[in-house]
Amino acid sequence: MKDLKKLIRYNKLWNYLFMIIGLLATMLGLILLCALMVDLAVDGAPRLSYKFLTSFPSRFPEEAGILSAWVGSFLLLLVTALAAIPLGIAAGIYLEEYGKKNWLTDIIEINIVNLAGVPSIVYGLLALGLFVYFLKFGESILTGGLTLALLILPMVIMATREAIRAIPNLIREASYALGATKWQTVQWHIIPYSTGGILTGIIIGLSRAIGETAPIITVGALTFIAFLPTSPISMDFPFVSFKWLMDPFTIMPIQMFNWVSRPQKEFQLNAAAAGIILMVMTLLMNGLAIYIRYRFRKKIKW
């Protein structure tokens, strides 16, 4: 009897010990995340100013800014979104609603899972061979944007599929029963009901695209750009110009990488300041994605 009580006490002790260890392990990641943000904030916050946002990079650290970098990031993201979103949603809809169970669909599915696991720098090499040299887009905003679009395409497809899968079959059957065709069902029911999930996936994909550095270095983005791309709006007819698509560019993470790799302390402080802005953008986008997911989950009850 005494032994049994001892055994129980011993087992319970281990149980409590593990609860503490598990909690600590879970918190460790969060603590590090906080340390990272505090470290960035301490180093970089003094450099943050309106001038930092509106100056070009410079040889003098205290005059350098990120104007060309954030404009480049923004334009790149625009191209990425325009290319990846329609393609990804269309592919997701096909696989969930139209795809028949055959070998071709199987191959497409396995392929998408595999693409999601391909290192980002390999996409950079693909883009270097395909966009820069084969299609002759050069080291342009178009090339960079399309590279990131390829990279986040699997994420958009998977998010779309997951969102569509959550819609119960009775919705489809009700629509067919009223005489709707497949596309009408998709257009009026499937797409509207899965908007929340799809939007969440898109935002998370774009937030990943904004921080991606390696593939864009590989396609040959420059690290020192002291001018802006051609303005998309002009005074002369036809008022809209797409010349900016072919302009050379730099982006936020590359600017930060360039500053980190310099030995001078002053440049590293600039890197921290650029890092703060990158982090804030990523966190805002992820926060928005979580909020949207939460809102839609609350709103729709099947």
Partner 1 sequence: MNHSQKRKIKEGAIETILFLCALFSVFITLGIVFILSYESFGFFKEVSLKEFFTGTQWTPLFAEPKFGILPLIMGTLLTTGIALSVALPLGLLVAVYLSEFAPHKMREIIKPVLELLAAVPTVVYGYFALLFLTPILQRFIPDLSGFNALSPGIIMGIMIIPYVSSVSEDAMIAVPMHIREGSYAMGATKFQTAFKVIIPSAFSGIAAAFIIGISRAIGETMVVAIAAGGMPNLTANPLEPVQTLTAYIVQVSLGDAPHGTVEYKTIFAAGITLFFMTLGFNILGFWLRKRIREVY
**233 three-state secondary structure:** strand
Dihedrals phi, psi of 181, to nearest 5 degrees: -80, 175
> Is 81 an interacting residue with respect to partner 1 (CB under 8 A)?
no
Select from 53-61, 163-171, 189-197, 264-272 the region that touches partner 1 (CB under 8 A).
Answer: 264-272
Number of residues that bind partner 1 (CB under 8 A): 86
Dihedrals phi, psi of 240, to nearest 5 degrees: -115, 130
**C-beta of 239: minimal distance to partner 1 in Å?**
31
Q: In the range 190-249, which residues lie near partner 1 by CB under 8 A?
A: 204, 207-208, 210-214, 217-218, 220, 223
**C-beta of 261: minimal distance to partner 1 in Å?**
7
CA distances from 268 to 5, 50, 58, 94 (A): 60, 19, 14, 48
> Is 82 an interacting residue with respect to partner 1 (CB under 8 A)?
no
**C-beta of 115: minimal distance to partner 1 in Å?**
6
Q: Which is nearer to partner 1, 75 or 210 (CB)?
A: 210
**C-beta of 18: minimal distance to partner 1 in Å?**
5
Select from 10-18, 48-56, 58-66, 237-245 the region that touches partner 1 (CB under 8 A).
Answer: 10-18
Q: Supply 157's token pair.
A: 């497809």
**Cα–Cα dist 263/107, whole Å:** 49
Select from 168-176, 181-189, 227-235, 236-244 the region that touches partner 1 (CB under 8 A).
Answer: 181-189
**Cα–Cα dist 214/83, whole Å:** 20
Radius of gyration of the chain (CA): 25
> Is 19 an interacting residue with respect to partner 1 (CB under 8 A)?
yes
Q: Which is nearer to partner 1, 78 or 288 (CB)?
A: 288
DSSP annotation of 243: G
Q: Which is nearer to partner 1, 163 or 278 (CB)?
A: 278
> Is 174 an interacting residue with respect to partner 1 (CB under 8 A)?
no
- Match 């499937």 to its residue by tokens: 190
CA distances from 259 to 61, 266, 273 (A): 9, 9, 10
**Cα–Cα dist 80/146, whole Å:** 6
CB of 273 closer than 8 Å to CB of 48: yes
Q: In the range 96-125, which residues lie near partner 1 by CB under 8 A?
A: 98-99, 107-108, 110-115, 117-125
Q: In the range 123-152, which residues lie near partner 1 by CB under 8 A?
A: 123-126, 128-130, 133, 150
Nearest residue to 150 (alpha-carbon basis) of 74, 72, 216: 216
**C-beta of 66: minimal distance to partner 1 in Å?**
13
Binding residue (CB under 8 A) for partner 1 from 46, 62, 74, 90 = 90
**C-beta of 211: minimal distance to partner 1 in Å?**
3
Burial class of 156 by CB neighbour count within 10 A (0 to 12, 13 to 18, 19+): buried
